[in-house]
Structure formats: structure tokens, C-alpha cells
């Protein structure tokens, strides 16, 4: 079975646990927010902009159900972070992070498996 870039990344992190301090984690989120193209996505909403939320691939779903409608599509595959990390899932703002979606898909905890 082909091992994707993301799975190699996860294996690396698992073999060499990376314990991040709150400041380091905040730095990663800040960098991803700088590169994030969510604000240019038609699915992005004003409520997320007001909260300063983006980089949902890293922080998880939009808070308090701010973004729920997926009908306008997801721009994530066009993002440099997406390509560099090797993500495969989409709609992080409504479905959660890549890890959360993969785990839920495997466990089939949802009626609809993405």
C-alpha cells in the first residue's frame, strides 16, 4: 500500500514525539493562518473573520457552528500548506482536522464517510 506524505509525516511525529510548548503551537498556528486562503473561499463566513479564525486544518471546525454550508466548495487543495503537509481531506471548517476526519472515517463513526 502506498504511504502518503501525510502518513509519513505522522509516522515521523509518532517515532519522534514532538512536544510543543504553547508558544511553539501558537507560532505554528500563526504561520498557517498567514498562508491560509480560507478568507478567499466562498464557504468562509463573516462570523469566522470576526473571530479571527482560519487554518481550520490545524485548529479544527469553526466555532459555534459558524460555517455549516458546504455547497460552495472548499479551496483547501489550492493552499500551499495543504500541499506541503500532504492533506487529502477537505472542509476542515465543517468536518474537523485531517487527523480527526481520517480517524472518524476509519472508525466509521459517521453515517457519511468522507
Residue pair 85/79 in contact (Cβ under 8 Å)? The answer is no
Supply the Cα-derived Rg of the chain in whole angstroms.
Answer: 14
Q: How far is the CB of 110 from ligand SF4 (least distance, A)?
A: 18
Closest by CA position to 38, among listed 51, 19, 57: 57
Show the site string, 1-30: x = touches ligand SF4 by CB under 6 A, - = not.
------------------------------
**Under rule CB under 6 A, residue 66 binds ligand SF4:** no
Closest by CA position to 98, among listed 79, 68, 16, 30: 79
The correct pick among 66, 89, 91, 96 for binding ligand SF4 (CB under 6 A) is 91
Of all helices (H) and strands (E), which one includes residue 40? none
- The residues of the shown chain that bind ligand SF4, judged by CB under 6 A, are 32, 35-38, 41, 43-44, 54-57, 74-76, 79, 81-82, 87, 90-93
Amino acid at each position: 500500500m502506498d504511504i502518503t506524505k501525510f502518513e509519513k509525516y505522522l509516522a515521523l511525529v509518532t517515532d519522534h514525539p514532538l512536544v510543543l510548548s504553547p508558544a511553539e503551537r501558537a507560532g505554528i498556528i500563526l504561520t498557517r493562518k498567514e498562508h491560509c486562503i480560507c478568507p478567499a473561499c466562498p464557504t468562509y463566513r463573516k462570523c469566522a473573520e470576526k473571530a479571527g479564525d482560519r487554518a481550520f486544518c490545524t485548529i479544527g471546525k469553526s466555532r459555534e457552528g459558524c460555517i455549516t454550508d458546504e455547497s460552495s466548495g472548499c479551496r483547501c487543495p489550492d493552499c500551499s500548506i495543504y500541499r506541503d503537509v500532504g492533506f487529502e481531506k477537505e472542509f476542515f471548517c465543517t468536518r474537523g482536522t485531517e487527523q480527526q476526519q481520517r480517524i472518524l472515517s476509519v472508525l466509521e463513526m459517521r453515517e457519511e464517510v468522507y
